[in-house]
């Protein structure tokens, strides 16, 4: 365990329940990190209020006040770097990010996505899993690349689709699993057990042949 806690920034566009789960894990001593910044592309994002209540510095930048997406991303990511963050977590940050902005963060930025990637990149994942008649659904945490929801998958939480599930119920049943998955992945990333190098995700020094699986709130 490093002596000084890893510095982490979080970007979120919405209600921030995954951010809340990270803050809660830290409070309970399960996540030895320091949150140095919470940023958003939406000034009204509830995630910013959560961060303020936890005394974490916040920034909200409006993409509409930039000439293009790339300029916005470069400015946002420069501010994240200036916060001293070593790791960056996208927790419901609803934007595709420019490759140049991402480059310095390769292997240090993760995202949580509500599907069993590589299935259902993008939006409406619960609806698409139901429409396909899938037996299972889930959430994935992956390293972020310029390809939307396309970076190497680190870990997944799985759940069985039940006959009574609709889009809303499925999302509601999945969310608590997301809230365990994201802190669990950030913990192993921040304490050096997880790395993305030589084109593969390594866990405890060994390349992963498939995603880690969340079981009983731990990663296996
Ligand atoms: C989550 O479902 C996450 O998987 C997806 O966006 C949603 C964010 O929810 N990327 P919240 O803002 O963390 O509550």
Distance separating alpha carbons of residues 117 and 49, to the nearest angstrom: 30
| pLDDT category of residue 217 using cuts at 50, 70 and 90 | confident
Q: How many domains does the chain have?
A: 2
Please check whether residues 98 and 174 belong to one and the same domain. Answer: no
Give residue 80's pLDDT band: very low, low, confident or very high (50, 70, 90): very high
Q: Are residues 85 and 121 in the same domain?
A: no
Q: Please tell me the distance from the alpha carbon of residue 48 to that of residue 11, in angstroms, as a whole number.
A: 9
Residues 117 and 208 in one domain: yes
The protein residue whose alpha carbon is closest to atom 5 in ligand 1 is: 92
- Give kind and range of the element (H or E) at residue 216: none
Whole-number pLDDT of residue 100: 97
The range of the structural domain enclosing residue 156 comes to 111-220
Q: What is the pLDDT of residue 213?
A: 98
Two structure tokens written together for 181: 């998955």
Residue at token pair 């050096």: 192
Ligand 1: residue of 12, 95, 114, 174 to mutate (most ligand atoms within 8 A of CB) is 114
CA of 67 to the centre of ligand 1 (A): 27
Helices (H) and strands (E) in the chain, counts: 6, 12
Last residue of a domain, one of 75, 105, 135: 105
Q: Which residue owns the Cα nearest ligand 1 atom 2?
A: 114
Residues 95 and 151 in one domain: no
Pocket test for ligand 1, best of 91, 94, 155, 177 (most atoms within 8 A of CB): 91
Instruction: Indicate if 151 and 94 belong to the same structural domain.
Output: no
Identify the pLDDT of residue 3. 67
Which of 105, 123, 138 is the C-terminal boundary of a domain? 105
C-alpha triplet 206, 148, 104: angle, nearest 5°:
60
The pLDDT of 46-71, averaged and rounded, is 98
| 3 Cα: distance to centroid of ligand 1 (angstroms) | 31
For residue range 154-209, list pLDDT tens digits in order.
Answer: 999 999 999 999 999 999 999 999 999 999 999 999 999 999 998 899 999 999 99
Distance of CA 35 to the CA centre of its chain: 14
**Distance from C-alpha of 78 to C-alpha of 104, rounded to nearest angstrom:** 10
Report the residue among 10, 14, 49 best suited for mutation to probe ligand 1: largest number of ligand atoms under 8 A from its CB. 14
The domain that holds 193 is classified in CATH as 3.40.50.170
Q: What is the pLDDT of residues 115-165, one digit of tens each?
A: 999 999 999 999 999 999 999 999 999 999 999 999 999 999 999 999 999
Task: Pick the last residue of a domain from 105, 123, 149.
Answer: 105
112 within ligand 1 shell (Cβ under 6 A): yes
Question: Which residues carry out catalysis?
Answer: 113
Look at residue 47 in the predicted model and tell me its pLDDT: 98
Ligand 1 binding pocket includes 17 (Cβ within 6 Å): yes
Q: Is the CB of 178 under 6 A from ligand 1?
A: yes
Instruction: Determine the average pLDDT of the residues in 101-116.
Output: 97
Cβ(32) – ligand 1 distance below 6 Å: no
Q: In terms of domains, do 119 and 209 share one?
A: yes
Ligand 1 atom 1 nearest Cα: 92
Task: Decide: residue 46, CB within 10 A, 0-12 exposed, 13-18 middle, 19+ buried.
Answer: middle
């Amino acid at each position: 365990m490093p002596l000084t806690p890893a510095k982490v920034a979080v970007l979120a566009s919405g209600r921030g329940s995954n951010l809340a789960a990270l803050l809660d894990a830290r409070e309970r001593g399960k996540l030895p990190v320091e949150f140095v910044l919470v940023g958003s592309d939406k000034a009204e994002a509830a995630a910013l209020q959560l961060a303020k209540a936890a005394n974490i510095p916040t920034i909200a930048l409006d993409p509409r006040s930039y000439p293009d997406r790339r300029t916005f991303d470069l400015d946002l990511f420069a501010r994240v770097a200036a916060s001293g963050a070593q790791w960056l977590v996208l927790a419901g940050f609803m934007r595709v990010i420019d490759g140049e902005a991402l480059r310095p963060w390769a292997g240090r930025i993760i995202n949580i996505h509500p599907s069993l990637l590589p299935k259902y990149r993008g939006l409406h994942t619960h609806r698409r899993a139901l429409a396909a008649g899938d037996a299972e659904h889930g959430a994935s945490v992956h390293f972020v690349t310029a390809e939307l929801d396309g970076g190497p998958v680190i870990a997944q939480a799985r759940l069985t689709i039940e006959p009574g599930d609709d889009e809303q119920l499925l999302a509601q049943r999945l969310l608590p699993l997301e809230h365990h998955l994201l802190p669990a992945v950030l913990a192993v990333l921040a304490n050096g057990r997880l790395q993305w190098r030589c084109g593969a995700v390594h866990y405890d020094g060994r390349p992963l042949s498939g995603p880690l699986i969340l079981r009983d709130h731990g990663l296996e």
